[in-house]
Chain A
């Protein structure tokens, strides 16, 4: 299978977890599918949440009709069936995080006295991932070709950023790679579904210290209100339990021989 592969990095990144907002906003540990779709959409110049809002809402914020004309933002509509694989770098897949404090003083962000909104955001520092977008028919031929052309030739309609436009993204080393189905995978070097278990007696890759991250990450948007659909994903440097692998998981595991990586497409 062919895939578009590129390095995605930046000085900082912020993928907001929407579930708490009282003291600080926290970030997901990695770029997630929906944010990645948004980034790819920006490269191609597809509409985002704002365009969807403008389409669905009349001036004044009243819904034009009961059933929205656009149930999803355009980028999601286009990429929702795309298979991607996210390979985290950093220290065993970990990026340091720091809470940044800044003010929003535009005036309309806070109606409290002084009009200043204090914002605290937890940012990822110097994140870097290798991203694979599978050419498996999940996106239309024409879209994939255009994406491959844009990404490989450093073209983009809108500036791609990592979660928020405070964090410009760097896309580098873009290339088309040929992937082989991995028949007997030992380690998985990308994020994967949590039901692909680690082998309890298994070894840790390259004599590293063990790492095992499990996190509920957005994998899609729901139809009712575009809320995140979450699924537990895992990144670990420990051997996987091959005996427990299901057939449908095997279909998602590919080998990038050039880079000596085993990938799981989510």
Chain B
């Protein structure tokens, strides 16, 4: 994962060499640039142009130059983490002697006793740790070298003595050699001495001045002695003619001197592999003695992973880049296109990364081999043949149109099955259950299927959802039927139109997922519905006492579909004030077909006073349902599905003139005019 990401990040670094600190967001606080070669009194007059209060808002454009100077210097002077502070007291948060970071309260603390302040103690301790010998120790620890004459070497500045310590010998051929050379230079030592001197004479005046300025969080002081530090010393030679290093270089070396010995998570796992130093990287990797199994106990490798210094540095930069991306959402990064200027048209996948903002943990990562843009085009079919009416009262077969993009697809799924809960980037969502709105069963189904829906909508692969779509959505429809009260639903009559639509959407999406015109279930539904309609028509047309062949229900599908039709018709006769889906709950309690028959019988007895005696279709249907013995029991998913389809389809038992009170529409509220 890190290797994949850093490899892509390298592309970005090639194109935008300054990307590391351009992405850097300095923390809130007061940023001050000070001249080391001038006393506070000498520079107080230019203080206004040499400081800046940085907040979370965008910096003032007119001071962009100064902001970028601070941004760059702040990047190189910041700690990797508080655990890796230079100051043992952890009061000062900068990593080199040329800078001073302190929290406002620490910096402005009242003097302890006459002449001494808390700050001076902190500074003395901090500057001591930035001495060459102390830094050298850290480098020695990095390669596991024993203490040698490094201290002695550091006292001298001539280049001949530099390579006396094993550490310096080890790094003599690397990019870090100049930094180590600089570490023991006379110039660095002089600067530190000057800084100590500067603080000794000017600190209290500076503190008093800052006390008057309103700001939050940090005080950050950066030393320089270049009059125009935005430019390199080549163009504007420093007024210290003896200066060998420019301030930019020195800040750069200080960054390496601090960062390299602390780059690894812990130096306990450092090892030489093929002559190169490798160690445990620090990003999203922990070795906690209380969790012994983070270490690989029986493998020779021990530490899970080891990277070289260069790789570890790159991982640090890449992770900083990653952390500057939006948190708490799934970020998609194309292998090349999101990193490189040359976004050539070339096949690529992308990384899907979810970062948690607080502890900067990677909570989800995936390498997805598909295009970032997902295309769908799904024609929604009216499998149940649901009718509707236009404004003039003309009935026609309802047209659901098409879903032309994934946004529409997500909206439709969310609306039809999840009561609008599946919004935005829903993978991490855990919706709350609410009675009569979003039941706990629906929550459970949401949790079970969200990854599948997410993969479909956001990655364009239906592989995950395909196997569970039919089951999950059927249960969602059933749950909504029995336990949810949709807003806007007419309560004065049994109104299942919304669910009939959901069933149609379900059947269309199932067909799409299986790559067919209609699914097997869709085809069966159409066949059953047509077959039963034909049978009922035959009955209607028959003259009384005509001696013709009897008409039977012949399959399980027909049985359950007809049972659904009957259940709806009978229950829509209810006199209840509020006719809701739960009227039908009694049928769903049945597990076997015999129980279902019993429930229908009970419903008939309850409402028979409203039935006409010579209702041919109804009488036939009741008779057939009693008489037929299905092989499949009602708990079978197929049976339930047929029953639901029967419920949701236009009802055949409403007769002309018979109206479901108080609505004046015909069958099931949307059928043909009777």
Contacts and interface: CB of A to CB of B under 8 A. Distances in A.
A98 B289 CA distance: 28
Interface in B331-353: 335, 344-349
Most buried by B among A49, A52, A56, A238: A49
B285 A22 contact: yes
A210 B4 contact: no
Interface of B: 1-4, 7, 271-274, 281, 283-286, 289-294, 296, 298-302, 304-306, 335, 344-349, 356, 359, 361-371, 451-452, 455, 460-464
Contact of B284 (A20, A56, A224, A238): A20
A102 interface: no
Given A19-B1, A94-B368, A226 B361 contact: no
A109 B295 CA distance: 11
A49 B361 CA distance: 30
Given A52-B300, A210-B370, A211-B370, A117 B293 contact: yes
B292 A21 contact: no
Nearest to B290: A111
A227 B306 contact: yes
A19 B1 CA distance: 7
B564 to A, nearest CB: 34
Contacts of A24: 362-364
Contact of A110 (B7, B274, B291): B291
A209 B298 contact: no
A120 to B, nearest CB: 9
A216 interface: yes
Nearest to A54: B298
Interface of A: 17-24, 26, 29, 49-50, 52-53, 56, 68, 90-99, 104, 108-112, 117, 122, 125, 198, 200, 209-216, 222, 224-228, 230, 232, 235-236, 238
Contact of A198 (B273, B347, B365): B347
Given A20-B1, A92-B369, A108 B364 contact: no
A225 B306 contact: yes
Most buried by B among A19, A99, A216: A19
Given A216-B3, A222-B273, A235 B369 contact: yes
A39 B273 CA distance: 27
Contacts of B363: 23-24
Most buried by B among A21, A112, A122: A21
Given A49-B298, A94-B463, A211 B274 contact: no
Contacts of A227: 273, 301, 305-306
Given A22-B361, A23-B284, A209-B370, A91 B461 contact: yes
Given A109-B293, A211-B370, A213-B367, A90 B463 contact: yes
Leading 7 A-B pairs by shortest Cβ distance = A213-B369, A96-B464, A91-B463, A18-B304, A212-B347, A20-B284, A23-B361
A22 to B, nearest CB: 5
A110 B290 CA distance: 6
B284 A53 contact: no
Nearest to B454: A96
A212 B300 CA distance: 34
Given A97-B366, A211-B370, A227-B301, A216 B4 contact: yes
6 contacts: A21-B286, A50-B298, A91-B461, A112-B291, A210-B347, A232-B7
B382 to A, nearest CB: 28
A225 B290 CA distance: 24
A26 B365 contact: yes
A28 B291 CA distance: 24
A223 to B, nearest CB: 9
B28 to A, nearest CB: 27
Contacts of B344: 200
Contacts of A235: 369
Nearest to A49: B299
Contact of B464 (A22, A111, A125, A226): A125
Given A19-B281, A21-B285, A225-B301, A212 B464 contact: no
A49 B300 contact: yes
Contacts of A125: 464
A163 B246 CA distance: 54
A222 B302 CA distance: 13
B346 A198 contact: yes
Nearest to A48: B298
Given A22-B359, A96-B455, A210-B370, 6 more contacts: A19-B284, A111-B291, A213-B367, A214-B349, A224-B273, A228-B305
Contacts of A20: 1-2, 283-285, 362, 365
B591 to A, nearest CB: 29
A246 B41 CA distance: 71
A235 B367 CA distance: 12
B4 A53 contact: no
Nearest to A51: B298
Nearest to B467: A126
A49 B302 CA distance: 11
B323 to A, nearest CB: 13
B594 to A, nearest CB: 37
Contacts of A26: 1, 365-366
